[in-house]
Amino acid sequence: MCGIAGIFSKKLDPEKLGSALKSMQSAIGHRGPDSNGIFVEDSIGLAHTRLAIIDLSPAGHQPMFSDDENIALSFNGEIYNFEEIKSQITDYPFKSKTDTELIIAAYKKWGIKSIEKLNGMFVLSIWDKKKKELFIARDRLGIKPLYFYKEEDSFLFSSEVRSLLASNLVPKKLNKQSLFEYFTYQTVHAPQTLVNNVYELLPGHYITITHNAFEIEEYWKPSTSLNKDVVDHSKDEVLKNINTLLNEAVEKRLMSDVPYGAFLSGGIDSSIIVGLMSKSLSNPVKTFTVTFDESEFSEAKYAETIAKRFNTDHTEIKLSPQDFLDEMPSALKALDHPSGDGPNSYIVSKVTKESGVTMAMSGLGGDELFAGYPVFTNTLKLEQLKWIWSVPSALRKPVGSLIDSIIKKSSTGKLKELISNDELNLYQSLSLSRKISLEKELKSFLNLNEYPDPVSKILSNQIETEKDNIPLLSKVSIAEITTYMQNVLLRDTDQMSMAHALEVRVPFLDHELVEYVLGVPDKFKTPDYPKKLLIESVAGLLPDEIVHRKKMGFTFPWAKWLKNDLLELCDTNIKALAEREFIHKNDLLKRWNNFLKGDNRIRWTEMWLCVVLEQWLKDNGIDS
């Protein structure tokens, strides 16, 4: 796990290119504290910061070069099947035990097609000296990030936005057209970012660039890559195959030359990962649980149950809410791109790294893949209630307005919007489920000319609604994977774990497992209880008290904190944000005051997004 950066430019001489590249490398030094390197030649420069996980020797130093010096590689991530691929290449003189060198050898043998053989999380950048071509590819599920900036004569890329800004070649201008999206979904969806003309390479895509051409191509997409043979499998076959794929996904990710462990919340997903790790290892798994003094926020008893069941080397890290609050300034500074849900990951990564591990397994992805969120059951219910939309809208709309006016909660606004739609549209209902604020609310304080909402477009590109033979629950999975998971959960996990040089691996996002589960018919996946298909696939692994426990997650009294412990920070930032030209000052301040007075229609998340945005703008010197 590492940080990468690069510049490909006609107009910069090698000295200026190298100077800019060093600044970019320095900005991502936290991602790779073990070593760093820079390669500059004519119009190309590659930089690397290394977090050594496989082959800790200097042989793993990057940028790495091919035996004939024609290929230069800067790579971030892990390739879990590199030994298998390596066995297929008998004509390359390997000098190390790294997956990095395997990528070079595979590229020399198969060219761009080599990425289709890779199983892992990665962003790789390859300079081919003979072709004078730069090739950049991102993993299928978007576990590792890649941002880029392109103008007529220059192309810059990096693992983090702040690295691009550090080059002083990228204008620090706010992308105002993404503000509505940010406040609506607590994030900005790739390929857009909050910096003007800075983009994120989409998962499953690659870039080829020369001085005369620039192309972005898609090589993997969940809806077209799902396993269509599953429809003919019996339930027993489905359960057996998922069990096999899960075990293989975990086993592949156990390769490491550094101490490692697993996050253990005591929930279904993390408990399964720990259970499968224990089956594969002769030594006890190191597990880490972050708990809190207040019992209402503590999952300690569930984690302890799993730790005892699998005889893990368990570490319970007790924190008070004050410990969490004390870390808030550092957590906000670690945000490379604003998000409404980053501090939790920052705290967990920090204490895990301090406990002596460099790599940790995570259960991220289990909810998205195995129907663990309410949106899955809600979508099934909506399908049964389609008849409501046959009622004339003149009758439906007043009902929604009446409910909203009586209950006066933020959630009733969503119901009103859904009922008011002309038809039950899958894209609209799925995007609505992830909205933090609605358009009417945001227009009251956002001073913008346009209010683009790209999520329905993203979903229409990812899933068809007719004649595609994709199970309905798999469509919901694809929607969750390509929106919330990739643009909030994975982005936050990467930036917050790498702030502490901690590698996080996610077995549930093994692409072979994802392809298979997305092909499973709804009749096997319908969640009569949370993640039924997953539980049945590992029957007997977990005790009933874990399987049927109430889902908690990291739940903190944020609304209370914003009004008390974090009041000074929030008040200062919100008042500063109110002075910016894209804000209707009086309307935002009124909304903030109403929140402080206890207006239930205003979520704490809406106010926190203002705080985070202003802090990020100040920290990065973004011109709004």
As annotated, the active-site residues are 2
In this structure, are residues 473 and 4 in contact, taking their beta carbons and an 8 Å threshold? no
User: In whole angstroms, what is the distance from residue 502 CA to residue 170 CA?
Assistant: 28
Q: Where are the beta strands (DSSP E) in 253-385?
A: 260-263, 286-292, 313-319, 359-361
Q: Where are the beta strands (DSSP E) in 495-579?
A: 503-505
One DSSP character per residue, 226-280 reads S-GGGGGS-HHHHHHHHHHHHHHHHHHTT--SS-EEEE--SSHHHHHHHHHHHHH
Nearest to 510 by CA among 412, 319, 363, 344: 363
The DSSP symbol for 174 reads B
Burial of 257 (0-12, 13-18, 19+ CB in 10 A): middle
Nearest to 534 by CA among 307, 309, 371, 375: 371
User: In whole angstroms, what is the distance from residue 485 CA to residue 509 CA?
Assistant: 11
Q: Residue for token digits 């990291």?
A: 554
**Rg of the chain (C-alpha set):** 24
Residues whose CB falls within 8 Å of the CB of residue 508, separated by 6 or more in sequence, listed in order: 249, 269, 273, 363, 364, 365, 366, 369, 514
User: In whole angstroms, what is the distance from residue 515 CA to residue 546 CA?
Assistant: 27
Q: Is the dihedral of CA 328, 332, 334, 335 positive or negative?
A: positive
In this structure, are residues 51 and 358 in contact, taking their beta carbons and an 8 Å threshold? yes
Nearest to 520 by CA among 227, 298, 278: 227
Exposure letters 265-298 (e unless 16+ CB within 10 A, then b): bbbbbbbbbbbbbbeeeeeebbbbbbbbeeeebb
CA 268 to chain centre: 20
CA distances from 560 to 328, 556, 597, 598 (A): 15, 9, 12, 10
Tokens matching residue 74: 């800067």
**Which residue type is seen at 384?**
Q
User: In whole angstroms, what is the distance from residue 40 CA to residue 6 CA?
Assistant: 9
Q: Residue for token digits 């874990």?
A: 546
